[in-house]
Amino acid sequence: MLAKIESCSVLGMEAMSINVEVDISKGLPAFSIVGLPDTAIQESRERVRAGIANSEFEFPLKRITVNLAPADIRKEGPSFDLPIALGILSATKQLSSEKLSDYLFVGELSLTGKIRPVNGVLSMALCAREEKKKGLIVPKENAKEAALIKELEVIPVSSLREVVDYFSGKKEIVPMNEDFDEFFKSSLQYELDFSDIKGQEQAKRALEIAAAGGHNVLMIGPPGSGKTMLAKRMPSIMPNMTFEEAIDVTKIYSVAGALLSKQALVATRPFRSPHHTISTAGLVGGGQYPRPGEISLSHNGVLFLDEFPEFSRNALEVLRQPLEDGLVTISRASSTLTFPASFMLVAAMNPCRCGYLGDKVRECKCLPSHIRQYVGKISGPLLDRIDIQIEVPRLTKKELVQTLAGESSEKIRRRVQKARERQQVRAGKTNITCNAQMNPRIIKNHCKPSDAAQDFLENAIDKLGLSGRAYDKVLKVSKTIADLAGEEMIEIEHLAEALQYRSFDNITNYYS
């Protein structure tokens, strides 16, 4: 007796179709699973046996062999419980197999026969559509997530008995159908707003430029100056995500198991703030079976690294390539996986170990050698990849007691959106969405200073000793400032402001 049920397995960010072949033959009772299953799949034997029995079906006391094909690809996770159980019921003629080939099946079984949610369902739904399946049978808790993929019949189920009754014609299940367009529009809201921030007008201006051009930012200032408060409100002034961007982000969160309960779609830009004790694998992703790390969970959003120099040197250095490429590649002996990592880095640090160097109220007690050691934890190449570096000083007494609300995030976001629209028109049919993504060829074509601005920039190169990468960054930031001003040509005032945000390039000498 042989049965075949189709399921899928997530490998990295993508899902691939897996054939679950179940053979039941005469012999001593045995239950084996082959095809490179991991421990969670091997343990499914006990869940499937109990789930079938407790759903009032007969579990065959024969030799059961389950093959997960193709056999040369590693499979993991409990999502094969449901297809294995259905394969056994189909092979023993307890379930008609006529309609099963039109669907993909995923789900974890409990010992009572209930079906529990699994990770990566959005990728699985995409796989089902690519395989031209009629529909996808998923746990009820995952149904809204799968329903994001249109042209696919998503059947939500809560138990093994319910699945059998549905395919036997004893029960009707209404396919999941949600109006995600309206949900998406209504979800584009942020709890935090820039109007809550007192003072810090220069820092707000720098963050507006960063949001408009997708530039990375480093904020330096004493404790309590508002660096974290500014960073947390950064997503609220960035352009709203498109539905396609939201799908990409949701896909990452689904694979990582980071979707909140009953959350079907990540509609707002992510904000991730890992602690400085995080490991390199936790930051970039990894593990025996690689999973997305914090930088991938920040895709299309903000990665905030507070206490920047306190992160390990290895963790900081692995940021360099993702900041350039927007991707992170993780290599293992069995496979090489690539995860998206197009994020905006916002970092914050104190000017010294005690935090009060240059403060007008409290005196710094650090030795010059300690200051150099502290700020020297950030390498030059990494600092080169941070477009905007700004000082966030202590608030004055007048700023602290002011009661007038500052400019709202919505008003700033409208200006940012207009600047982004100019950039996208200029980019044409390329994949570039903001100025920070421009390569040297595009910079040469579109970031042209006026004659006076060119002379000004050449003098700045001599005086500031800008590297080749820093030179490109200055031009990119200048172009963003020009876009915010609605001007096509880069002028002296745009360059001057951009250079002002590179004042900490040689940060060790500045503070020593």
Closest CA to 466 of 392, 396, 384, 404: 384
Cα dihedral 333, 19, 147, 285, rounded to 10, equals -10
Using one digit for the tens of pLDDT, what is the confidence trace for 82-94?
A: 999 999 999 999 9
- Which pLDDT value is given to residue 186? 67
Amino acid at 235: P
Winning range, highest mean pLDDT, from 45-59, 183-197, 314-328, 334-348? 45-59
Of 179-183, 194-198, 264-268, the range with the lowest mean pLDDT is 179-183
Answer yes or no: is pLDDT of 352 > 80. yes
pLDDT value at 277 more than 90: yes
- Domain ranges for the chain: 2-167, 194-427
> Of 128, 115, 268, 89, whose CA–CA distance to 188 is shortest?
268
Query: What mean pLDDT is predicted for residues 14-26?
Result: 95
Looking at residue 512, its pLDDT comes to: 45
Residues forming beta bridges with residue 63, ordered by sequence position: 25, 30
| Residue ranges in 65-111 assigned as alpha helix (H) | 81-91
Q: Which two tokens stand for residue 264?
A: 């079907």
Tokens encoding 288:
């025996």
Task: Please give the backbone phi and psi of residue 158, each rounded to the nearest 5 degrees, phi first.
Answer: -120, -10
pLDDT value at position 98? Answer: 82
Answer whether CATH 3.40.50.2020 is correct for domain 194-427: no
Domain 2-167 class, CATH top level: alpha beta
Is 182's pLDDT higher than 80?
Answer: no
Q: Tell me: the pLDDT tens digits for 76-129?
A: 999 999 999 999 999 999 998 788 999 999 999 999 999 999 999 999 999 999
Fill in the amino acid letter for 277.
T
**Is-same-fold flag (2-167; 194-427)?**
no
Band of the pLDDT at 508, cuts 50, 70, 90?
very low
Q: Which pLDDT band holds residue 134 (cuts at 50, 70, 90)?
A: very high
Share the mean pLDDT of the chain: 90
The rounded distance, in Å, linking the Cα atoms of 274 and 311 is 10
Please list the alpha-helical segments (H only) found in 265-333.
280-284, 294-297, 313-317, 320-325
- Binned at pLDDT 50, 70 and 90, residue 358 comes out as confident
- Per-residue confidence (pLDDT) for residue 378, from 0 to 100: 87
Q: Is the pLDDT of residue 506 over 70?
A: no
- Does the pLDDT at position 418 exceed 50? yes
Confidence of residue 432 (pLDDT cuts 50, 70, 90): confident
